Amino acid sequence: MEIKTLLKASVAVGALLALAAPMEAAAGGKVSAANSKVDVTLAGRVHRSIHYIDDGTHD
Amino acid sequence: MFQGSGISSNSEVWLSAEGKLTESVSMGAYLRWDIPKNDASHSFGSTSGAAASTDATNTLHKYEYIYFKSDAMGTLSMGAIEPAGNGVPAGHFGGLAGDQGAAASATDITTSGGAFSGSEVTDFVGIIDPGIDANRVRYDSPVFSGFALSGDLEEGGGGSVALNYAATISGVEVIAGITYEADGGGDHIVGGTVGAKHASGLHIAFNYAENKTDLATSTDPEWWRIVGGYDAKLNSLGNTNFTLVYSENEDMTTLGDQAETIQVAISQSLDAVGASVTLQYDNYSFSNAAGTNFQDVDTLVFETAFNF
């Protein structure tokens, strides 16, 4: 994909996000544990990265 | 076009639990699994030019430690935990989709004629930051007037110390830190950070680190960068962070190697769901002692990160 096409697509996505009305943030729910004397937290992060690369010869 | 590493080479899941041992002392445990991404490593090959992706080492990296925390005495942790110096040389206020070299992955550098040089981008660039690599006993002091002292002893030898400072002075958020790590294997990392963020959203930070090795025949990699930008709430979605980075590396793998990195990023927080999107451009340029005419490598990244 041409770099200009990718840039245009990315800007379009950004514009849609900027125009969209935000959702209300939901409060975190409590995680139950077998040991009732402690507070337990379950958390995580997933990220996806799309890369365009140009090494001067290949892209 | 590839999909690969960004702000991290893994996705992460963690569990933590904490309870009151006494009125002033808590005890807790932390478990975290770092899950390598599918097809995280990518390149145009080193001979044919055909694009290829490969899985990262198919293992889970596990964090596992237990801690005792006192508001007055600090926190004592034992287990698989980051060294005290982790993150100290790399502090900043920017919003990036990966540090130097992350977007390039395993891309090979080509010479001016288009031939593969035999070196990858990450042979020349990268950050220097003490990372988790062994079991430790770690102590973190309480914060005194913005200062916090941390230290650890590593299983099998080595350890690190770090002094961090964080405060808001006349509307300016200030961070600073310095660390020394001996990893027990002959590497000694010395590094630090100083940075400031104005209430207007303007921010700047300077990072420096050097990895000195005991062997006279080994190179001593050196890295520094300046991270500046503007972080403000410009729309209803959350903060928008404009970030500009200039970075230099020396002797990362071979004596005489040098690299310069320029990164430009726009990161948009999506506060309603605790997520963010980032668009980032990287430019890498290289030189070596032999004066080889390397071609630049350019990358463009679009990253979506979702926290839960």
Distance CA B59, CA B14 (A): 16
State the pLDDT at residue A1. 47
State the pLDDT at residue B184. 78
DSSP for residue A14: H
Torsion, Cα B95 B12 B37 B224, to 10 degrees, reads: 40
> Which range, of A19-33, B54-68, B95-109, B111-125, averages the lowest pLDDT?
A19-33
Torsion, Cα A58 A59 B2 B7, to 10 degrees, reads: 100
% of chain B exceeding 90 in pLDDT:
75
> Is the Cα torsion angle B232, B237, B242, B247 positive or negative in sign?
positive
Q: Find the closest chain B residue to A3 by CA distance.
A: B300
Question: CB count, 10 Å around CB of B200?
Answer: 11
A4 in contact with B at a CB cutoff of 8 Å? no
Q: Inform me whether the pLDDT recorded for A17 exceeds 60.
A: no
> pLDDT tens across B255-286, in order?
999 999 999 999 999 999 999 999 999 999 99
ipTM: 0.82
> pLDDT tens across B189-213, in order?
999 999 999 999 999 999 999 999 8
> pLDDT tens across B227-236, in order?
999 999 999 9
Which chain B residues are closer than 8 Å to A14 by Cβ? 266, 268, 277, 279
Please indicate whether, in this complex, the C-beta atoms of A49 and B279 are within 8 angstroms of each other. Answer: no
A57 in contact with B at a CB cutoff of 8 Å? yes
Reported confidence tier of residue A22, pLDDT bands at 50, 70, 90: very low
Adjacent-strand bridge partners of B190: B180, B210
Rg over CA atoms, chain B: 20
State the pLDDT at residue A29. 63
- Count Cβ–Cβ pairs < 8 Å, chain A vs chain B: 154
For the segment B35-55, the average pLDDT, to the nearest whole number, is 76
Which chain B residues are closer than 8 Å to A58 by Cβ? 44, 49, 51, 110
Global pTM reads 0.85
Which residue in B300, B303, B308 has the most chain A C-beta atoms within 10 A of its own C-beta, making it the best mutation to test that interface? B300
> pLDDT tens across B68-86, in order?
999 999 999 999 999 999 9
Place of tokens 């110390």: B161
